[in-house]
Structure 1
Amino acid sequence: MRVFTTISLGLLLTSSVMAQDFPEFKVQQSQTSKHMNILAADEMMGRKPGTPGNLMAARYIAEQFRALGLKPANGDSYYQPVPLETTIPPSVGVISTTEGTAKIGTDFVLMQGGAIKGEYEVVHLPYAWVDKEKGYDDFKGVDVKGKVIITSVGVPGEEAPNQLFASVDDKQKIAKEKGAVAIIEVFNSPRPWTMIQRFFGRPSTKLKTSGGAQGEVPHLWISSTAAKILVANKISKVNLEVGARQSKDIATYNVAGILEGSDPKLKSEYLILSAHYDHVGYGAAAGQVTPQDTIFNGARDNAFGTVAVLTAAESFTKVKPKRSIIFVAYTAEEMGLLGSRYYAENPLVPLEKTVFNMNCDGAGYNDVSRITIIGLDRTGVKEEFQKATKAFGLTAMDDPAPEQNLFDRSDNVSLAAKGIPAPTYSPGFTAFDAEINKFYHQAADNPDNIDHSYLLKYAQSYTYAARLIANRAQAPAWIAGDKYEAAYKKLYGK
């Protein structure tokens, strides 16, 4: 028994020494602090897409990748252009029926599409949705040509906020293919209508479609209160008068570099290590300001995560992991996960070769002894997360606020929805308390008030966890029954 214990202790010590030989164990605080102080500097002006500060931050990240010798992920470039457009909603808009009138801005918003004017027959459908795999088709036996579709927001069986918005493009496309002239969705979600008014009733930014608004079917959302003028058994026609939106293009980029793995076989599989580098900008339009500070530096959200990805890139170029790595800094997360959504539809490496995404994001921290991993138990790599955090004196904990649906509110969900196992590695928080709210999307979120020693441990543990996962014999997978398991099986042909 004594011999077994001695041998075990020797193996444990050997393992510990080998682990601490990895470069991430030797990272200096001066290095992580340098990245933080540059990315969240006042000169970056809040890194909002469409501003010089956002482009400067992208350039800084790209030059770090270049200096480390990473291969450009987009041909000969580290930049993946993400086509965005800012639209200004029309000032004129009315929906009229025999039951009353609804006004744009107050009662309804134009989500997408161009102007429309005229009186049209209406067709009421449950969701105006088609899902061939599930055998669901609201249009079966229904003629909508030349008519206005009135339906419910979202898709059947999905209530997550991101699904309400994610379905807009598809529903508009289906309506156009079926010959409808417009689609009106009744916003019967439990979420407040005022949120929709604020976001879509003012200038907003989204991914630019190839065809633009001209020729696209007008897609409207109307509040459940105002929708009483559209009751199915009382109206047969609707009069629409909705003006056109104005728009302008925005130049912004995802930044991505590739490191080939060391294992002859496993290097054909890729991990994506990601974080968004954008933030909300500066001035009163970005949020509450003070005479002393009008810049939203975004140190915690999300220079923190970007520093972790840069730390991993430097460590991995010194000692390669077995699998290949795509390092991606996303833009436009704060505008609705737009950078990651674009990447998921336009991947720089085929998605079926991408076996895992370890995303970095968070609202801040209130416990520097922990790392919060959103999805800790969902992808079969809990052991690796626990080992990596413990190595730096930290504890891995799961989502403390599952009711917030945080998993589906960060960039990881763009790839998770495609089937790729994709948790989010967040700074430690135990609740959305005053400490979190003090800095979240506030001008006070500056590099000079973060815990730089904790930033170092966060970046080191993230890097070590990524290494352990990249070196696994088997690629990660969603646990049985996970809501993304079906997409996983489809993507990988399981």
Structure 2
Amino acid sequence: MAGSGWQCPLACLLRTHQFFVPSAPVRFIRIPMTNMMRSSLLMGGLLGLGMVSLFAQGLQEWPERHLSTAEVEQHIRFLSADELGGRQPGHPGHAIAARYIATSFQAMGVQPLPGLQDYYQPIPMGRMVPPRAGHIRWGKQEWAQGGDLLSMSGEGIEGEFPAVFVGYGWIGDSTDDYAGLDLMGKVAIALQGLPEPMSPGKIIAAGRKKAAWAAERGALALIELYTLPYPWKRLMLNFTSPAPRVLPETEDTRLFHAWLNDPEEYLLRAFKEDTSVTLAVATETVRQNRFTAPNVVGVIPGRDSSLREEYVLLSAHYDHVGTGGDGPDTIYNGARDNAIGIAGLLAAARSLSEAPPRRSIILLACTAEEMGMLGSQWFVDHSPLPLSQLVYNLNYDGAGYNDRTAFTVLGYERTGIRPLIDRTAQWAHLNIIADPMPEQNLFDRSDNVSFAAAGLPCLSFSPGITEMDETILAHYHQPSDEADGLHFDYLRQLSSAFVHLARLIADQAARPFWQPDDPYYEAGRALYAD
């Protein structure tokens, strides 16, 4: 057990609240900023009330200027305490974290979003218990379970079976990748996802549809060739470590479905060179225990009646990877990833409730980001209001920090709000690190990508990170990711900057939009076509 010396006040929370319980068992660019220019605006009509309006353009005294370091620390320490067990969906600590966020929303004056159950958006899920063994062989090549093979769902099969390449394995308005193909008693091999950009959650959902279509055509298995811009080893940590992992509820089909990592493209080249490919397959049945886990959602109505029906969506994930390993400390506390982000979201709840911006604000604490952005994708697919009413998503996620003079922006130049980001940095007395490590495609590796794929302009906000050095890797998805050692004054400064950027986006008259050369530009045009 990790020890911090700080006592989690769970007893108080347990005495006063009922919990949401699962339904089943449990180019690096540094941009220096000059000193902020100060303005002083007098609004005599309100002086009689003993206050100066916070809504004067350019005034610095917004509530986010006066966030409490102690409160930010409290949120982070609570959410990353040992007693919450790593906040993995389907486990009690995750439910406690959800209740803590919902209770905080309520106490800060955030309203439930109409159409949801109080502050909760329950999501049906399945905790996958991965097989211990299994393999697929072709010639001298072998992909083994726990190595380059990830069994996703379905009943195990064993034997030698002909394989058929089905392209993306998709059926659409003008597409049927199965047309003219005989799949009876065969293994279907498909490219993962679709040609256009998709979030990981969307790819998982698409895979379930593909499996159902393949089963309807008599296939014995569906193998998807891995294409996500997401390190395979990290994926395997999330899905095959000793602790159970989370996937969406499966479809009724029991067809065996797996992901296969084949960076050398042996199978693709085999299909190009020989139309008859036979695979030796030996797999075990994938077991799943069903439960529910919620997104936690609230809304702050905007103050401008002409813009109140437009929403800026602020998001941060509150789940982490639970427990695992056989060392003396088996709890992955997730302070940096992503209790820091939730502290920023709660700072937004407090500050924006006290002084609402022109547009309305939706606060979304996402579940199951670590499992492939499942919570954010569920919100996209089951939004209580039309997505076209959302004008922006500002996401807060991170893996730590190695520069306490800056915040990081993923998507700095992509949606036309660079001037607002620059103003925020100036206001917060911080520098900007814009899109570091482009080769790692970090923009597409957090919950913002679910909204980007739907067309919603977005960016992801993070603590200052210049590279994935030892400072980051020492704690990233490790039991050492605890609150002790964090710099809480800096994290309070980051929360202030996150909230202020949200305010500037929600207050500006123009709606942000993708740059014309952005991969998500066409999706944005489709979203706002009407």
**Normalised-by-shorter TM-score class:** 0.7 to 0.9
Say which SS state the counterpart of residue 474 (structure 2) adopts.
helix
Structure 2 CA distance, aligned partners of 1:77 and 1:479?
A: 37
SS of equivalent to 1:372: strand
Distance verdict in 2 for CA 1:323–1:127, change over 3 Å: same
In the alignment, what sits opposite 2:505?
469
The structural deviation recorded for 1:472 is 1.2
* Pairing 1:297-446 to 2, within 5 Å after superposition: 297-446=333-482
CA distance in 2, matches of 1:235, 1:443: 48
- My pick for the range that moved more, 135-144 or 23-32, is 135-144
After the TM superposition, which residues 178-197 of structure 1 pair with which residues of structure 2 at under 5 Å, given as runs? 178-186=217-225
How far, CA to CA, are the matches of 1:10 and 1:396 in structure 2? 18
Counterpart Cα distance in 2 of 1:175 and 1:90: 22
Q: Is the 8 A contact 1:110 1:200 kept in 2?
A: no
Question: CA 1:174–1:352 in structure 2 vs 1: closer, same or farther (change >3 Å)?
Answer: farther
Q: C-alpha separation between the residues in 1 aligned to 2:78 and 2:292?
A: 21
- Tell me the SS of whatever aligns to 2:484: helix
Shift of 1:241: 5.3
Q: Which of residues 47, 53, 59 is equivalent to 2:99? A: 59
8 Å Cα contact 2:198-2:453 kept in structure 1: no
SS at match of 2:433: strand
Equivalent in the alignment of 1:175: 214
Q: Secondary structure at the match of 2:308?
A: helix
Distance 1:270 1:438, change over 3 A: same
- Could you tell me which residue of structure 2 aligns to residue 247 of structure 1? 288
Q: 2:78 aligns with which of 26, 38, 44?
A: 38
- Identify the residue that residue 3 of structure 1 maps to in structure 2: none
Q: CA deviation at 1:141?
A: 3.6
Match of residue 314 from structure 2: 273
Residue matched to 1:83: 124
- AA aligned to 1:417 is A
2:502 match: secondary structure: helix
- For 2:511, the aligned partner's letter is A
> What residue is the counterpart of 2:256 in the other structure?
218
Work out the CA distance in 2 between the residues paired with 1:199 and 1:274. 21
TM-score between the two structures when normalised by the length of structure 1: 0.84
SS at match of 1:268: coil
Report SS of the residue matched to 2:86: coil
- What does residue 181 of structure 2 align with? 142
Partner AA of 1:70 in structure 2: V
2:125–2:292 Cα contact (<8 Å) kept: yes
User: Alpha carbons of 1:88 and 1:314: their partners in 2 closer, same or farther (altered >3 Å)?
Assistant: same
Cα distance, 1:181–1:415 mapped onto 2, change above 3 Å = same
Change (3 A) 1:59 1:130: same
Deviations 1:91-143 (A, max 9, x none): 5656578x5896752674423333446776543334434554xx655334434
Alignment partner of 1:449: what SS?
Answer: coil
8 Å contact kept, 1:206–1:338 = no
Letter in 2 for 1:472: Q
DSSP-derived class of the 2:428 partner: coil
> Is the partner of 2:78 in helix, strand or coil?
helix
Could you report, residue by residue, the CA deviation over 1:287-311 in whole angstroms, capped at 9, with x for unpaired residues? xx5x4x5433222211111111111
- TM-score normalised by the chain length of structure 2: 0.79
Matched residue, 1:206: 246
Alignment partner, residue 28 of structure 1: 68
Q: Is residue 102–residue 108 contact of structure 1 (8 Å, CA) maintained in 2?
A: no
Aligned equivalents of 1:120 and 1:371: distance in 2? Answer: 53
| Partner SS for 2:479 | coil
* Segment drifting more, 371-380 vs 178-187: 178-187
Unaligned runs of at least 5 residues, structure 1: 1-8
State the 1:49 CA deviation.
2.0
With over 3 angstroms needed to count, the CA separation of the structure-2 counterparts of 1:446 and 1:205, relative to structure 1, is: closer
User: Judging changes above 3 Å, is the alpha-carbon distance between structure 1 residues 179 and 418 closer, same or farther for their aligned structure 2 residues?
Assistant: farther
The 2-side partners of 1:415 and 1:423 are apart by 10
Shift of 1:259: 1.2
Distance in 2 separating the partners of 1:342 and 1:159: 14
Q: In 2, distance between residues paired with 1:47 and 1:67?
A: 22
In 2 relative to 1, CA 89–21 (structure 1 residues): closer, same or farther, beyond 3 Å?
A: closer
Task: List per-residue Cα deviations over 1:11-49 (Å, max 9, x = no partner).
Answer: 944398852232111222222222222222233232222
1:199 and 1:469 mapped to 2: Cα distance? Answer: 34
Shift of the alpha carbon at 1:243? 3.4
Aligned partners of 1:369 and 1:394 also within 8 Å: yes
Aligned length: 476
Q: What residue number does 2:111 align with?
A: 71
Quote the Cα distance in structure 2 between the aligned partners of 1:193 and 1:30: 38
RMSD (CA atoms) = 3.5
Cα displacement string for residues 193-230 of structure 1 (whole angstroms, at most 9, x for unaligned residues): 76776665566533333635xx2432234454896799
Contact 2:121–2:297, Cα closer than 8 Å, also in 1: yes
Q: Do the aligned partners of 2:455 and 2:523 also contact (CA within 8 Å) in 1?
A: yes
Sort the Cα spacing of 1:48 and 1:366 in 2 relative to 1 into closer, same or farther, 3 A.
same
Identity of aligned residues (%): 38
Q: Which runs of 5+ in 2 are unaligned?
A: 1-35, 42-54
The equivalent residue for 1:4 is none
Verify the 8 A CA contact 2:201 2:373 in the aligned structure 1: no
Larger fraction in helix = 1
Aligned to 1:5: none
Residue 111 of structure 1 is matched in structure 2 by 152
CA–CA separation in structure 1 for the residues paired with 2:307 and 2:331: 44
Shift in alpha-carbon separation, 1:370–1:281, aligned structure 2, 3 A: same
Counting only pairs closer than 5 Å after superposition, residues 475-486 of structure 1 correspond to structure 2 as 475-486=511-522
Q: What is the aligned partner in structure 2 of residue 487 from structure 1?
A: 523
SS of residue matched to 1:479:
coil
Distance 1:169 1:469 in 2: 37
